[in-house]
Structure 1
Amino acid sequence: MTPASLFDLMDPRRLAKGAAAFALGFTVSHSELDNATSHMDEVQRRGVLRCGVDTGLVGFAQTDETGEWSGFEVDLCRAYAAAFLDDPDRTEFVPTTTLDRFRAVREDEVDILLRNTSWTLSRATMQGVQFAGIYYYDGQGFLTPADLGLTSAQELSGARICVQPETTSALNLDDYAERYGLTFTIVSVETVAEARRAYEAGECDAFTSDVSRLAGFRRSLREPEQHMVLPDVISKEPLSPVVKDDDDAFAMAVEWVLTSLIAAEEYGVTQSQAADLDQISNRPEVRRLLEVNEETIASLGLQTDFARRAIAAGGHYGELFERNLGETSPLQLERGLNAQWKEGGLLYAPPVR
């Protein structure tokens, strides 16, 4: 064995893959780990990008009466399709539940999971999947009827709480109860639709999930103004695109498309500018973003103008946020942690160079 191959085998990502594969009971060969662009090749041969999304959540992924999909995660999927296939409409949206989302990734039913999924250690090491950046910084909260007059989630002790099983929300609820000595009666609801039915039927006194999800959930109720999200935020929930853990190059391509949308907002490159200006700019960082050096991305299966395509599909990160989640949308969410780093948020794009 040469020194180079030894170092290659000791690569942290390779070791992590082996551990995850062992835990899940499947084997990964050296050749599979080195299959640099196999998934991108498959997507491009198929001509359609399949995105796993929610079964229906206002602001993130929902269908109208004609079956047309819309939402923040839907727009992200279209940006990926534009970058990978040069057409934002070459997408297929696959509704997934909390229980089957990771299986859908592992079994190649979806190419990218974009479904309010938090990046955690156990998921990264035990589910056979890979996380590819953070597209939304969230936290867990509680929605309750306003007429209960609650001011804190700690006043919910003894209440019936609707929560989706096998989620970080369920685990965080256990931690919260233990920390403050609270007791809850758990009402398991697999989908948002089931949660809405149970909540409106009075089968639970509160619904707990990510604050962004609660905002969309509240808007879907018959009388949204009769319900409130309590001020408590009990966790950190970094939401990430998820891909199968067998192709580092594909995961990196997914991550850098997201990075390009964040960088575009920082540089002020809007949807209309990306579509019209191409690489015409007196700023070198903008030229590098819109026309990446071919040698730099050769291993990712992307074209040099992948970022321009992604931005032109629906806009930079801020445009996607404002249209689907922001203060002019039905959810009316503030940017908060999801603002650019220069504005006090956590969005920070690595240099595109």
Structure 2
Amino acid sequence: MTLNKLLLIALLLTGLTMQVGAYASSLEQVKKHGAVRCGINKNLPGFAEKNSKGEWSGLDVDICRAVAAAVFADASKVEYIPVSTKDRFKSLSSGKFDILSRNTTWNLSRDTGKKITFTGINYYDGQGFMVPVESGIRSALELNGSTICAEKATTHIGNLKDYFLLNRMKYRLRTFDSAQASLQAFEQGQCDVITSDQSSLYSLRTKLKNPQSAKVLAEVISKEPLGPAVADGNSNWEKIVRWSLFVMLDAEEAGISEKNVDQVKRLSRVPAVRRLLGLEKNTGSNLGLNKDWSYNIIKQVGNYADSFDRNVGKGSPLKVKRGLNALWRNGGLHYAPPID
């Protein structure tokens, strides 16, 4: 093979490599745009919803706000882009937004086959069932022969098949393009049961004309670790999103909240706390962020408990208990590496 042919092959391979990572967001691109572009659910109370003033709120929304606080020192610098369940992965990998924060389950096939990388878990969930109260059904094991509504392009379809096969039960499946369409069919009596992540079911129930007419069954039939994701190809941006969530978890563990962060910053002599708040070293330097990046997240967005309580927990209409979403020391699964 001639030298010219070898050079041509090398150039082609270089071009292909650049093209594969071309759509991965970078810190420089985000700064140039002037806002973090965040793919979110169009309307899922507790996770992503817009009020009458056009303001977005929710547990997933707070991930976007935390990253904006880290990058711009301003949690409001977010461009929210509602995206459907069907289009979310393609939209992320093609560069339509910088983060996907949309009640999305992290699993092997998505992490390895969708050209995306999950950066953490902000909600430990599991698939469940919601039924009319008047049905008298108390357990998922009583659902044999039921017609079940579910959303297309979700993990729920496969989980449902596995659960009913394992328990030697039969069911009829009706699928819809959105959770809202599934809910509408359920309310109209087109199906006996609606299935989704339990968090989504509690959220959807608030949209019924009479929320008290339906109940969520206790059984959880799957593991659904929900979290943000970014497009493959830029490890630094991936780390910024990951550590923005970790800051919120570490802050809760340290007892630092949006309400007391300034007092703690002024008075604390605890080395780990001072590092978390950027007082003893610039922990953001390796990420390309300033030394106040973590302080800005806590001050403007809060710690994980602040976010959980106001969006889905005791301070919200959903009243979801922490359960698996408590810190590890309180019997939950949340555990973040130290800021050091």
Instruction: Name the TM-score, length of structure 1 as normaliser.
Output: 0.87
Q: State whether structure 2 residue 319 is matched by structure 1 residue 332.
A: yes
- Written as runs of structure 1 = structure 2, the 5 A alignment for 1:1-353 is 39-275=26-262, 277-278=264-265, 280-291=267-278, 297-353=284-340
Cα distance between partner residues in 2 of 1:280 and 1:30? 50
Q: CA deviation at 1:273?
A: 2.7
Name whichever of 57-66 and 342-351 sits farther off: 57-66
Cα distance between partner residues in 1 of 2:144 and 2:321? 30
What secondary structure does 1:329 align onto?
Answer: coil
Letter paired with 1:220: K
Cα distance between partner residues in 1 of 2:220 and 2:170? 18
Residue 292 and residue 347 in structure 1: after superposition, are their counterparts in 2 closer, same or farther (change >3 A)?
farther
Cα distance between partner residues in 1 of 2:334 and 2:266? 24
Residue 295 and residue 287 in structure 1: after superposition, are their counterparts in 2 closer, same or farther (change >3 A)?
closer
What secondary structure does 1:232 align onto?
Answer: coil
Cα distance between partner residues in 2 of 1:320 and 1:280? 24
Letter paired with 2:116: V
Deviation per CA, 1:150-198, whole angstroms, max 9, x where unpaired?
Answer: 0111211221111111211111111112111222211112222212221
In structure 1, runs of 5+ residues without a counterpart are: 1-25
Partner of 1:12: none
Cα distance between partner residues in 2 of 1:335 and 1:102? 28
Residue 225 and residue 34 in structure 1: after superposition, are their counterparts in 2 closer, same or farther (change >3 A)?
closer
Q: CA deviation at 1:270?
A: 0.8
Deviation per CA, 1:199-241, whole angstroms, max 9, x where unpaired?
Answer: 1111111111111111111111111111000111001111111
In structure 2, runs of 5+ residues without a counterpart are: 1-12
Q: Work out whether residues 282 and 290 of structure 2, in 8 Å CA contact, stay in contact via their aligned partners in 1.
A: no
Q: Work out whether residues 59 and 307 of structure 2, in 8 Å CA contact, stay in contact via their aligned partners in 1.
A: yes
Q: CA deviation at 1:27?
A: 9.5
Cα distance between partner residues in 1 of 2:68 and 2:161? 39
Aligned length: 327
Superposed CA RMSD: 2.2
Instruction: Name the TM-score, length of structure 2 as normaliser.
Output: 0.90
Identity, in percent, stands at 41
